[in-house]
Amino acid sequence: MTDHVILGKGQIGSAVAAILAERGERVRVLSRSGGADAPGITHVKVDARDAAALTAATAGADVLYNCANPTGYHKWAEEWPPMFAAVLAAAKAGGASLVQTGNLYVYGPVSEPMTERTPLRSPGRKGQIRTDMWKQAMELHRKGDIRFTEARGSDYFGPGALADSVLGERVVRPVIENKDVSVFGDLDAPHSFTYIPDVANALVRLGSDDRAWGRPWHIPTAPAASQREMVQAMARLLGHGPATIKRIPWWVLIRVAGAFQPALRGLAETRHQWDGPFVVDSSDFTATFGDEPTETETALAQTLEWWQRRLALV
């Protein structure tokens, strides 16, 4: 039986824990607030920025999945460096393989579909932070100090994706309630969206297959669709007529809303992802491991079902 330790109990970490526990594996979930144990899952309260505490909490782990994130975009520069340094120290000290949950910020503005061979040329601070993390981990991998891989996905959606998801409550709730929907960026630009269960399954796959180590992988992601297409597909699945979609000007989102929610100011750096095509190619993962992305209609139907159950309890 493999000993798995998951850092972070958010939408991704919780899904990874559930998959592993269902398989009968030993699972520990580490987070700042801890949590109530569940069948097959032990929760541990630990500050991931404390290298000594994190090393102690991960002792005995065979695989470490980093599914944690700072508390907001505006905290990345402050919180990521000590947190990731502690993660690397823990993996090295305990001999655990490390599966990192990444994203596509490292590539910066692109004009072609992104593959794992797309150069890391992000001009933005968040992208550069992520690139530095990748380089630090790969250096330890090359030296033989750890085994490392990173799973990169596009904007997440699905069960558990709340306010921090582009296709979270801000969009899904008004679609369900048959109200006007507000989005930002180009409504018709093709955009890749990665389904949360596919993210969790990909992380588990990478943590258990020796072919995974020493390179990045793009999480299986369905063909790109525009924001308009995603919203109208949800409306159609609900039996509604076409949804009315309004575009939020960037200056409103970043300057006005950002004054009250600092994390929104960070969207300025990633504006290129929404003002034009932003497409990920995940064919390497499928060709190597055989995993296909969930079809968009199926993923949206499951997302809507989860949200309808949640809203019925609110």
Token pair for 24: 């009968």
Res. 263 pLDDT band, cuts 50 70 90: low
The pLDDT score that the predictor gives to residue 90 is: 97
DSSP state of 295: P
Token pair for 127: 């992208």
The residues, any chain, with a CB within 8 Å of residue 113's CB and separated by 6 or more, are: 279, 280, 281
Domains in the chain with CATH codes: 3-155+193-218 (3.40.50.720), 161-192+223-313 (3.90.25.10)
Mean local confidence (pLDDT), 100-110: 96
| CA Rg value for the chain | 19
Q: Is 151 helix (H, G, I), strand (E, B) or coil?
A: strand
Is residue 213 within 8 A of residue 97, CB to CB? The reply is yes
Res. 102 pLDDT band, cuts 50 70 90: very high
**C-alpha to C-alpha distance for 30 and 9, rounded to whole angstroms:** 7
Q: How crowded is residue 265: how many other Cβ atoms within 10 Å of its Cβ?
A: 17
**C-alpha to C-alpha distance for 119 and 138, rounded to whole angstroms:** 15
Average pLDDT, the chain: 92
151-205 pLDDT, tens digit per residue, is: 999 999 999 888 678 888 889 999 999 999 999 899 999 999 999 999 999 999 9
Token pair for 308: 């309808």
The pLDDT score that the predictor gives to residue 240 is: 97
CA angle 94, 100, 105 (to 5 degrees): 150
* Among the ranges given (70-74, 80-84, 128-132, 302-306), the one the predictor scored with the smallest mean pLDDT: 70-74
**C-alpha to C-alpha distance for 275 and 270, rounded to whole angstroms:** 9
**Does an H or E element contain 242, and which?**
none
Percent of the chain at pLDDT > 70 equals 94
55-97 pLDDT, tens digit per residue, is: 999 999 999 999 998 877 778 888 999 999 999 999 999 999 9
Is residue 213 within 8 A of residue 146, CB to CB? The reply is no
